[in-house]
């Protein structure tokens, strides 16, 4: 837990006098503090990006890519992974106490933008005595933060790695987020967001929200391969009227229920709104080329062929804008059947592309240090 | 309202001793009763396929395609449009009285398969004194019925017109249906399906179910064109913390609420299950070619390029199986940005393709009658 005692002025105008961040780090900061990578998590992510904690059912969410000899090599880099404000894994957010009321913030936590996460990460950076990130890396909403960093603090990162992301959400993306939010708000246990003070949890709504999200993270092909039309319960014999349940149904219901145990409903509403609001070039006359002219770092953009939440086309648009702005950019479109989830899953080519890029970054750092 | 007094044995084994069908017809049955077209509605459809009733906010759901000089020309055809059992527009279903209990059937209405709708339509056919349909026509779940007709009563239809349909649902299709069902069942007003007897309606769950369905009926492109990221409420100025709402959000919420006024929750659960269960070739060793060898009518198969609920690929599979089985089939893939909803919407080429096909059917009928 890191206490950030400097005030932060959020985009909505509210000032948080102080805030706390749960942070994990992996690897060792080198003598000239130049080998730090910032990991930006996505909607449901946490600071726990790699390794195992006591009681973990599975390792950190990016464990496959962070560690010794992995794509983000902890023998060469110092990896900083904060849980961002507004989330629910210990950092200041809807589940923590609002000092003004001594009750959980709940629905009163101020609305956030991706830039607020970046500003909080910037204060964390100062707290750690780091003046320039070797790279800022993130997938999905994490990629949005990596892009925002390149515009707001161009001199404070050398590389921005933008994975399975987009410069703004489509109407369809917003639609799915709104249905998820309405599912939560429709749950009578939501109590206009004041469920914590009333010892209630809108589990039904939160489970539904996750189920909706989950379908959009998976590809049609991946679901067909994993579940097809296999049955969990029942059969189709004529004369049979007992219930029939497909495996995909029990899988989704399980995923929904599990998420309802782990995540906070107000945080889910808050962070999906942050996703909806993000629009990289809104303040640059809606011109992404004009936006990226403010950047000076190098970029790596990665997309996945079967991702229909943030399709490869969105990443090609990012790449085209970067090229148009005269930035150095590498772009890789990774073949995968795993949909949007691919950015979290093992994939040899993804591993090589990301590892290769960061290995060159480390080579340069070590050469300039030596 | 048509009383069907013959018993019907459903696929689940339950026998309905009698049942009622709400039916609309358009046009005139000719002397030798050969010019009848059966319209099969989809998930949320009704018998009201064309024209205006008192108080209608809009005409019947296929009004653009049924009428004088329209694709289904009521000057040449007698169009029969029943509301199917298990639905909620007056035909026997969850909202009507179960004679055994004198309460609404509610959740006790027996599970249905597409073949049950076909069997009920077959009894209606006998009731009307029709021995052979000139065509059976349907979109989506309606197309599934049109296909089932061709296998079960091959001698009782001359043409099967299968629009925006599929031989079976994918895991992703089932996933969205299950989320919709869970949304309904999570609503405390659902009361395990006994809401009618308790003067309650699970409006919140039903609205959510519709919102989920609605997003899958529209294409990403159509939503982008119609709504983009336009705002309904609020603005993105820095320092602004009032709510922001996108137009797509208010649109979807409106659609959900409207549907909750018009449709029945138990019927929605029942009919989405029917969709999930449909598998054309399950009883033909999962071989659609073997299945269609039982058919003898001619086929018209139509798909829409931006339909991602039942993509064009599903229709090409139907067409390939029909060709493999040696059936006569015309296939048209219609350019459209409207997604699955395209089958209900004005589209000049769709109109010409469907109208052209049925006009040749009418020509042949009239030649053989003359």
If DSSP codes are grouped into helix, strand and coil, which group holds residue A91? coil
Q: B33: which 2 tokens?
A: 């009763």
Measure CB to CB from residue B249 to each of A11, A178, A244 and give the nearest one: A178
Q: Which residues of A202-230 are buried (b: 16+ CB within 10 A; e: fewer)?
A: bbbbbbbbbbbbbbbbbbbbbbbeebebe
As a whole number of angstroms, the distance between CA A108 and CA A333 comes to: 40
Q: Name every chain B residue with its beta carbon within 8 A of the beta carbon of A238.
A: 11, 13
Rounded distance, CA A278 to CA A192, Å? 25
pLDDT at residue B360 in the model = 98
The ipTM is: 0.95
The verdict on A55 touching B (C-beta cutoff 8 Å) is: no
Q: Does A366 touch chain B (CB under 8 A)?
A: no
Q: Please state, in angstroms and rounded to a whole number, the distance separating the CA atoms of residues B330 and B327.
A: 10
CA angle A175, A61, A58 (to 5 degrees): 120
- Which pLDDT score is estimated for A241? 83
Residues in B touching A171 (Cβ below 8 Å): 220, 223-224, 226-229, 246, 248
Residue of A nearest to B277 (CA): A236
Per the CB < 8 A criterion, the answer to whether B257 and B206 are in contact is no
Q: Where are the domains of chain B?
A: 2-168+279-369, 173-273
**Beta-carbon separation of B175 and A252 below 8 A:** yes
Q: Is the pLDDT score of A370 beyond 80?
A: no
Which of B140, B150, B160, B336 is the catalytic position?
Answer: B140
Q: A39 pairs with which residues across the strands? A: A137
Give A94 to chain B, closest Cα distance, Å.
16
Q: Which residue has the tokens 């960093």?
A: A149
Is the alpha carbon torsion for B146, B147, B152, B158 positive or negative? positive
Rounded Cα distance between A59 and A37, Å, is 20
- Residue B119 C-alpha from the chain's centroid: 16
Containing H/E element for A338?
A: none
CATH 3.40.50.720 fits A173-273, yes or no: no
Q: Taking CA atoms, what residue in A is nearest to B274?
A: A244
DSSP-assigned beta bridge partners for residue A330 = A300
Check: CB of residue A275 under 8 Å from CB of residue A173. yes
Task: Give the whole-angstrom CA distance, residue B116 versus residue B109.
Answer: 13
Q: Does residue B221 have a pLDDT over 80?
A: yes
Best of A9, A172, A180, A256 to mutate (most B CBs within 10 Å, chain B):
A172
What mean pLDDT, rounded, does chain B reach? 97
Contact (CB<8Å) B208/A228: no
> Which residue in A has a C-alpha nearest to residue B183's C-alpha?
A208
A238 interfacial to chain B (CB closer than 8 Å): yes
Q: Give the total residue count for chain A.
A: 370
Please indicate whether residue B294 is annotated as part of the active site.
no
Q: What is the DSSP letter of B83?
A: P
Interface of A with B in 269-298 (CB under 8 A): 273, 276-277, 279, 282
- pLDDT mean across residues, chain A: 97
Whether residue B240 has pLDDT greater than 90: no
Whole-number percent of chain B with pLDDT over 90: 96
Closest Cβ–Cβ partner in B170, B186, B211 for A220:
B170
A window 293-352, beta carbon within 8 A of B: none
Find residues 246-265 of chain B whose CB sits inside 8 Å of chain A: 246, 248-249, 252-253, 256
* CATH fold of B2-168+279-369: Rossmann fold (3.40.50)
Those of residues 4-43 in A touching chain B at CB distance below 8 A are: 11-14
Tell me which residue of B322, B344, B339, B340 sits closest to B331, measured CA to CA. B322
Closest chain A residue by Cα to residue B218: A172
Helix, strand, or coil here: B303?
strand
Nearest CB neighbour to B171, from listed A187, A223, A256: A223
Q: For the residues A289-300, what does the mean pLDDT come to?
A: 98
* pLDDT tens by residue, A129-172: 999 999 999 999 999 999 999 999 999 999 999 999 999 999 99
Q: Which of A16, A13, A34 is nearest to A4 (CA)?
A: A16
pTM to 2 decimals?
A: 0.96
pLDDT at B77 over 70: yes
Q: Is the CB of A186 less than 8 angstroms away from the CB of B171? A: no
Q: Once rounded to an integer, what is the mean pLDDT over residues A269-276?
A: 98
Q: What is the pLDDT of residue A225?
A: 94
* Best B110, B176, B179, B223 residue to mutate vs chain A (most A CBs within 10 Å): B179
For residues B161 and B146, the answer to whether their CB atoms sit within 8 Å is yes
The average pLDDT across A165-187 equals 97
* Bridge partners (DSSP) listed for residue B73: B67
Helices (H), chain B: 114-127, 141-152, 171-186, 203-217, 220-226, 247-262, 265-277, 288-292, 312-324, 348-369
B307 an active-site residue? yes
Among A residues 162-191, those touching chain B with beta carbons less than 8 Å apart: 168-172, 174-176, 178-179, 182-183, 186-188
pLDDT at B3 over 70: yes
User: What residues pair up with B233 in beta bridges, in sequence order?
Assistant: B245
Is residue B144 a contact partner of residue B165, using CB atoms and an 8 Å limit? yes
Name which of A230-244, B40-54, B138-152 the model is least confident about: A230-244
Does the distance separating the beta carbons of B172 and A220 come in below 8 Å?
Answer: yes
Question: Between chains, do B186 and A182 touch, taking CB under 8 Å as contact?
Answer: no
A250 closest CA partner among B212, B181, B270, B209: B181
Closest CA to B327 of B299, B364, B291: B299
Which residue is it, tokens 């910037």?
Answer: A122
A233 in contact with B, Cβ within 8 Å: no
Instruction: Please count the CA atoms within 13 angstroms of the CA of A140 that sit on its side-chain side.
Output: 23
Contacts of B282 in chain A (CB under 8 A): 236
Which residues of chain A are within 8 Å of residue B218 when distances are taken between CB atoms? Answer: 172
Q: Torsion angle of alpha carbons A275, A280, A286, A291, nearest 10°?
A: 180
Q: What is the pLDDT of residues A317-361, one digit of tens each?
A: 999 999 999 999 999 999 999 999 999 999 999 999 999 999 999
Report whether pLDDT(A112) > 90. Answer: yes
Q: What is the pLDDT of residues B170-208, one digit of tens each?
A: 999 999 999 999 999 999 999 999 999 999 999 999 999
Residue B323 sits at the vertex; the CA angle it makes with B318 and B327, to the nearest 5 degrees, is 100
Catalytic one of A81, A91, A120, A140: A140
Q: Which residues of B touch A246 (CB under 8 A)?
A: 171, 174, 178, 276
- Confidence at residue A238, expressed as pLDDT on a 0 to 100 scale: 84
Residue by residue, DSSP assigns A281-321 as TTTTTT-HHHHHTT--SEEEEEEETT-SSS-HHHHHHHHHH
Q: Please return the burial class of B336, using the count of CB atoms within 10 Å of its CB with bins 0-12, 13-18 and 19+.
A: buried
| Residue A244: DSSP 8-state | -
- Which of B175, B188, B252 is nearest residue A215 as measured by Cβ atoms? B175
**φ, ψ for residue B176, nearest 5 deg:** -65, -40
pLDDT, tens only, B284-302: 999 999 999 999 999 999 9
Q: Are B154 and B187 in contact (CB under 8 A)?
A: no
Q: Identify the pLDDT of residue B370.
A: 65
Quote the CA–CA distance of B62 and A240 in Å, as a whole number: 35
Output b/e per residue, B194-208; b: 16+ Cβ within 10 A.
ebbeeeebbbbbbbb
**Coil, strand or helix at B182:** helix
pLDDT band for position B369 (cuts 50, 70, 90): confident
The rounded distance, in Å, linking the Cα atoms of A208 and A256 is 6
Give the pLDDT band (50/70/90) at residue B1. very high
Measured in angstroms, the CA of A250 and the nearest CA of chain B are apart by 9
Tokens representing residue B7 in the block: 């018993």
Query: A31-58, pLDDT tens digit by residue?
Result: 999 999 999 999 999 999 999 999 898 9
Q: What CATH code is assigned to A2-168+281-369?
A: 3.40.50.1820
Percent of chain B's residues with pLDDT above 70: 100
pLDDT, tens only, B311-341: 999 999 999 999 999 999 999 999 999 999 9
């Amino acid at each position: 837990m890191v206490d950030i005692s400097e005030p932060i002025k959020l985009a909505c105008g509210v000032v948080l006098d102080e805030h706390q961040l749960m942070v994990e780090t992996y690897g060792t900061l080198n003598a000239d503090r130049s080998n730090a990578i910032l990991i930006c998590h996505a909607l449901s992510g946490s600071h726990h990006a790699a390794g195992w904690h006591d009681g973990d059912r599975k390792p950190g969410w990016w464990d496959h890519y962070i560690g010794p000899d992995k794509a983000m090599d902890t023998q060469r880099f110092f990896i900083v992974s904060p849980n961002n404000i507004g989330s629910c894994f210990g950092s200041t957010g809807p589940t923590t106490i609002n000092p003004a009321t001594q009750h959980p913030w709940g629905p009163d936590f101020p609305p956030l933008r991706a830039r607020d996460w970046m500003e909080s990460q910037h204060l964390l950076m100062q707290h750690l005595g780091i003046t320039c990130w070797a790279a800022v890396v993130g997938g999905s909403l994490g990629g949005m933060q990596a892009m925002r960093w390149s515009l707001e603090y161009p001199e404070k990162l050398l590389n921005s790695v933008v994975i399975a992301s987009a410069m703004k959400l489509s109407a369809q993306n917003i639609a799915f987020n709104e249905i998820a939010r309405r599912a939560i708000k429709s749950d009578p246990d939501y109590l206009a967001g004041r469920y914590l003070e009333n010892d209630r949890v809108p589990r039904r709504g939160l489970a539904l929200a996750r189920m909706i999200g989950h379908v959009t993270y998976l590809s049609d092909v991946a679901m067909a391969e994993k579940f097809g039309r296999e049955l969990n319960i029942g059969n189709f014999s004529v004369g049979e009227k007992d219930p029939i349940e497909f495996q995909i149904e029990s899988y989704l219901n399980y995923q929904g229920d599990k998420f309802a145990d782990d995540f906070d409903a107000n945080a889910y509403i808050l962070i999906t709104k942050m996703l909806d609001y993000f629009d990289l070039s809104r303040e640059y006359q809606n011109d992404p080329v004009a936006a990226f002219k403010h950047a000076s770092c190098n970029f790596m953009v990665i997309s996945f062929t079967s991702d229909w939440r943030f399709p490869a086309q969105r990443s090609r648009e990012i790449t085209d804008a970067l090229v148009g702005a005269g930035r150095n950019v590498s772009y890789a479109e990774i073949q995968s059947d795993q949909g949007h989830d691919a950015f979290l899953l093992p994939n040899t080519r993804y591993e090589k592309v990301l590892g290769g890029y960061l290995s060159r970054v480390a080579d340069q750092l070590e050469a300039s240090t030596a």
